[in-house]
Structure 1
Amino acid sequence: MKWNKYTIETTTAAEDYMSAMLADLGIEGVEIEDNIPLSKEDQADMFIDFLPELPPDDGVSHVSFYLEDDGEDRTELLKQVKEALEDLRKVVDVGSGVITSDQTEDLDWINNWKKFFSSFYIDDILIKPTWEELKPEDADKFLIEIDPGVSFGTGKHETTQLCIRQLLKYIRGNDAYTPENRTPKVLDVGCGSGILSIVALKLGASAVVGTDLDPDCMTSTHENMEVNHLDPSLGTFYVGNLIDDAALQEKVGTEEYDIVVANILADVIIPMAPVIPARLKRGGYFITSGIIDFKENAVKEAIEAAGLTVVEINHQGEWVNITARKPE
């Protein structure tokens, strides 16, 4: 299979913005090339014996994305990319913005990336890829094992970490959810690999329900639940769009959940916000991320317009978490 590779010449300051912009257009799996040296933390997470010698960082970055060469006309999509690129200039220096194209043969992307995913901690939670051996000294740790497969969700991304820390706070750290009282029921919108559902269950959620547009996510989620020795009956997962699918909304239920978590994108959260309050119990929490910082206010306004009260906003890098609460 052949792929058309499109490369945008931009700046290192615009890399995350560019990735978010392309994701908003339905383009995933971007490749970023720059001369920024790896941090010590990044080096610790990668199996590299000798780091490459890079030229001095000149602030230039190349962000590439791939589209299958299947004969389909991509003119309109590329036009949208160029228009979105010009919009980005209003908020960040995108550099020249020149787009070049090339053609490449199919690669084993699904497996090649695994060399860059190794065990790491989020607070006291150890997240380990399924293909890595558990170290003896980690045998008693709070462990989550993940194989994302073709789905999003290793836990490495800032947005996933923001959501996990909020789940820690609002499940483990919430005195209302005790064994003597009740454990929360959680809705995971855009469940991906199932990592947030699994974290919620391991923290003590009574049950999770998940939704995603991609059928492959159902496979990844069920497999990851099995790897983590979780009873399949604790999780129910549906393919569909919660925004406008009335049948899915009915399956998911009304006022069923103590927590709704959504690690998606700002442009999905905004139209989804009006349907969230109906899913939550009174006093329930909406935990969301996937929000690039320049869209923080738009998402906050949409959540408030839906009738929820924003209780906290957290940042990690250029990404934002907004947590809101349904009135009692």
Structure 2
Amino acid sequence: MKWNKYKLKTTTQAEDFVSGVLMELGISGIQVEDNVQISQEDKEKQFIDYLADLPEDDGTAYISFYTEEDDNAEQLLDQLREKLKEAKSFINVGEGSIEKSTTEDVDWVNNWKKYFKSFTVGEFFIKPTWEEVDEEHKGMKMIEIDPGTAFGTGKHDTTQLCIKQLVEYVKDGDKVLDLGCGSGILSIVAKKLNASKVDMTDIDPAAIEAVYDNFKVNKLSMDNVKVEAGNVLEDEKMQAEFEAEQYDIVVANILADVIIPIAGIVDRFLKPGGVFISSGIIYMKEEEVKDAINNNSNLQLSKVVNQGDWRAIMAIKK
């Protein structure tokens, strides 16, 4: 199906107002583009390392929305224009021009799958659930993953760095804690390496469902496996639970601005000699993470490994 796409030029000041008008007119899905700078507080809440600030904000914003090609959209556009003219008396709606184009319908939920192909990391063969195992990889430890659209596939450099370090450090019978587990791929690796107990947490409740699905796909029992939603930096009850366990390995594949505060408390979750594996660290943040680890007197920085622009940093509890 083809769709009409409309791109309205307005102002950042009027973004919320225009969005509300579109909702009143029956448009439920919109896209907003602007150069409003992201605060440090908001950056720390995100799962992205920002390499650079946005271009200078000139107050311009673009709001895009769609209608079916055979809809009588002119009536909707006339109503929108009238409401924008009325609003000029109390808010700066900007230019108000509307650019029209046509776009093809895309199956966003499933089309991404053509880009997720099987790959190897060390002794592991990681493949999507919809692919068969070829002869070349049948002898390897296999992980099947169906991440949907919410979580990663494991192919990112940061995840591969963690997998390689888990292979190096996890011993039979170890207890492993996975902070920011997402789809659960690192915990699946730990179980395949014969960890006796694996606990996981993620701030996204949808991670719980993803983990159960992926453990099931990999025919792994949930015995001695626990996954819960929550923020370990804020949840004191969760902190107490993890402190009581005393893990051999704590792995956190998140991002530097979250790993830095975790480095201040992670020693409480580790037994003496236990290893903290952290990844999701862009090269520009390496020194900040190392400083955070060095500022924890109970941790000893042990190793930094690279893959592309990303770093994994290991520390040992003294």
| Structure 1 residues 39-58: aligned runs within 5 Å | none
Q: SS of the residue aligned with 1:103?
A: strand
Aligned match of 1:282? 272
Aligned match of 2:73? none
Out of 226, 232, 235, which is 2:216 matched to? 226
Instruction: Assess if the C-alpha contact under 8 Å between 2:175 and 2:197 holds in 1.
Output: yes
Instruction: Assess if the C-alpha contact under 8 Å between 1:189 and 1:263 holds in 2.
Output: yes
The alpha carbon displacement at 1:112 in A equals 2.4
Letter in structure 2 aligned against 1:204: N
Deviations 1:103-130 (A, max 9, x none): 2559653322111001011122100011
Instruction: Assess if the C-alpha contact under 8 Å between 1:150 and 1:216 holds in 2.
Output: no
| Structure 1 residues 1-328: aligned runs within 5 Å | 1-6=28-33, 24=44, 26=46, 88=52, 101-105=62-66, 108-171=107-170, 177-178=171-172, 183-254=173-244, 256-307=246-297, 308-327=299-318
**CA spacing shift, 1:255–1:233, aligned 2, 3 Å:** closer
Q: d(CA) in 1 for partners of 2:65 and 2:193?
A: 44
Q: d(CA) in 1 for partners of 2:30 and 2:45?
A: 18
Q: SS of the residue aligned with 2:248?
A: strand
Q: d(CA) in 2 for partners of 1:2 and 1:187?
A: 38
Structure 1 residues without counterparts, runs of 5 or longer: 9-17, 31-83, 172-176
Displaced runs of 4+ in structure 1, greater than 6 A? 94-100
Q: SS of the residue aligned with 1:6?
A: strand
The alpha carbon displacement at 1:22 in A equals 8.8
Q: d(CA) in 1 for partners of 2:183 and 2:196?
A: 20
Instruction: Assess if the C-alpha contact under 8 Å between 1:255 and 1:282 holds in 2.
Output: no
Q: SS of the residue aligned with 2:264?
A: helix
Q: Percent same amino acid among aligned pairs?
A: 46
Instruction: Assess if the C-alpha contact under 8 Å between 2:243 and 2:270 holds in 1.
Output: no
Q: d(CA) in 2 for partners of 1:7 and 1:197?
A: 38
Q: d(CA) in 2 for partners of 1:123 and 1:23?
A: 33
The alpha carbon displacement at 1:236 in A equals 0.4
The alpha carbon displacement at 1:26 in A equals 2.8
- Report the more deviating stretch, 198-207 or 301-310: 301-310
**CA spacing shift, 1:165–1:261, aligned 2, 3 Å:** same
Letter in structure 1 aligned against 2:125: L
Q: d(CA) in 1 for partners of 2:268 and 2:45?
A: 28
How many residue pairs match? The answer is 248
Q: d(CA) in 1 for partners of 2:221 and 2:33?
A: 44
CA RMSD of aligned residues (A): 2.9
Letter in structure 1 aligned against 2:289: V
Letter in structure 2 aligned against 1:145: E
Instruction: Assess if the C-alpha contact under 8 Å between 1:5 and 1:104 holds in 2.
Output: no
Q: d(CA) in 2 for partners of 1:202 and 1:161?
A: 15
Structure 2 residues without counterparts, runs of 5 or longer: 1-27, 67-104
Rg larger in structure: 2
TM-score (norm 1): 0.68
Q: d(CA) in 2 for partners of 1:162 and 1:97?
A: 36
Q: SS of the residue aligned with 2:244?
A: coil
Letter in structure 2 aligned against 1:316: Q
Deviations 1:244-275 (A, max 9, x none): 21111123343520000000011111112222
Q: SS of the residue aligned with 2:112?
A: helix
Q: d(CA) in 2 for partners of 1:321 and 1:3?
A: 37
Deviations 1:10-68 (A, max 9, x none): xxxxxxxx9xx99645377x9xxxxxxxxxxxxxxxxxxxxxxxxxxxxxxxxxxxxxx
